[in-house]
């Protein structure tokens, strides 16, 4: 458990921001069937029609 004392709040916050940024980039860059409405990797909501 000693390794947990070496992790700072800033490192956790930076990791969270990096994950959110990566998610947004995937939504923008990948096709809707992968990252979009009804996508299998990132589902942003219900599929239309």
pLDDT for 5-44, tens place per residue?
Answer: 899 999 999 999 999 999 999 999 999 889 888 888 888 8
Q: Give the pLDDT score at 47.
A: 67
Residue 23: how many other CB atoms lie within 10 Å: 14
C-alpha span between 22 and 14 (Å, rounded)? 12
Chain centroid, CA 10 distance in Å: 18
pLDDT at 48 exceeding the cut of 70: no
Q: Give the pLDDT score at 24.
A: 92
Six-digit token string for 12? 């956790």
Q: Are 32 and 39 in contact (CB under 8 A)?
A: yes
Q: Give the pLDDT score at 43.
A: 86
pLDDT at 4 exceeding the cut of 90: no
């Amino acid at each position: 458990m000693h390794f947990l004392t070496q992790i700072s709040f800033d490192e956790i916050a930076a990791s969270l921001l990096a994950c959110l940024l990566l998610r947004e980039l995937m939504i923008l860059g990948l096709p809707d069937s992968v990252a979009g409405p009804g996508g299998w990797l990132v589902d942003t909501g219900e599929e239309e029609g």
